[in-house]
Amino acid sequence: MAFPLYLLLILTGLTGIYSIITASKVTVKAGDSITTPCLYDSQYINNVKYLCKGYYWSSCIYAVRTDQPHSSSKFSISDDKMKRLVTVTIKDATDEDTGYYWCAVEINGGSDNRGLFHLSVNRDHPITPEPAHTTKDPSTVHQDSDSSYLKSFTIRLTMLLFVAVALFIWFMFLKHKQSKAESTTMTGENDMTQG
């Protein structure tokens, strides 16, 4: 019975790991600056947000944080709490800036929520923006996040119902097995008393 409960905890926890919405790919011309918005859930309005560089989450390096917004001349960050929108800017882009970045929300006592994007610095020609969450009007991004939140909620609810049904079936199986064992024991006792 412990295994299905463990499965429930895992399944409900996995859906919330990446709850920051941002573009997946961003391109900038060398020497220019690029600003990328990252949308977060309303429950994190008062949390610290930050930008972290590196493909692997476990080894990414802080670039800038909202509780220290002026700590870097290369990176800047701002948090519009009304729109639930963190804006990160990378200034004077160079080849060294090419790579993976994480927009993240610091969760005290838990795993930080984050969204990954890749920045490419291009030297050859002007950049045509790629359609993504970050190129839309902020009010449209907000609508998309509501849709994304609804999808996430629906997935969680479906998984929760699936696990509840599985637990119910498991419980009924155990109950049936127990009642069958009891009836077998009763039949054996009756045979002994009659014999």
Kindly give the interhelix angle for 138-194 and 2-14, rounded to the nearest 10 degrees.
Answer: 170
Residues with Cβ within 8 Å of 168's Cβ and at least 6 positions away in sequence, in order, are none
Q: Which pLDDT tens digit goes with each residue over 75-124? A: 999 999 999 999 999 999 999 999 999 999 999 888 899 999 999 999 87
Question: Hunting for tokens 């399944």 — which residue is that?
Answer: 11
Whether residue 59 is predicted with pLDDT greater than 70 in this model: the reply is yes
Whether residue 140 is predicted with pLDDT greater than 70 in this model: the reply is no
Question: Strand 113-122's sheet: what is its strand order?
Answer: 25-29, 113-122, 99-105, 49-53, 61-65
Whether residue 73 is predicted with pLDDT greater than 80 in this model: the reply is yes
Buried b (16+ CB within 10 A) or exposed e, 83-117: bbbbbbebeebeeebeeebbbbbbeeeeebbbbbb
pLDDT score of 65: 94
Whether residue 14 is predicted with pLDDT greater than 50 in this model: the reply is no
Average pLDDT score over the chain: 76
CA distances from 71 to 27, 59, 75, 161 (A): 24, 20, 8, 46
Whether residue 39 is predicted with pLDDT greater than 50 in this model: the reply is yes
**Residue 177 confidence class, pLDDT cut points 50, 70, 90:** confident
Range 18-136: architecture per CATH: Sandwich (2.60)
Whether residue 18 is predicted with pLDDT greater than 60 in this model: the reply is no
pLDDT score of 145: 43
Whether residue 164 is predicted with pLDDT greater than 70 in this model: the reply is yes
Domain ranges across the chain: 18-136
pLDDT score of 151: 59
Please tell me which residue, 124 or 21, carries the higher pLDDT value. Answer: 21
CA distances from 119 to 17, 63, 123, 134 (A): 22, 14, 13, 13
The whole model's pTM is what? 0.56
Other CB atoms within 10 A of residue 138 CB:
16
Q: Which two tokens stand for residue 52?
A: 């972290």
Whether residue 41 is predicted with pLDDT greater than 60 in this model: the reply is yes
Please tell me which residue, 72 or 126, carries the higher pLDDT value. Answer: 72
Please tell me which residue, 28 or 191, carries the higher pLDDT value. Answer: 28
pLDDT score of 63: 94
pLDDT score of 17: 46
**Mean pLDDT calculated for residue range 40-63:** 93
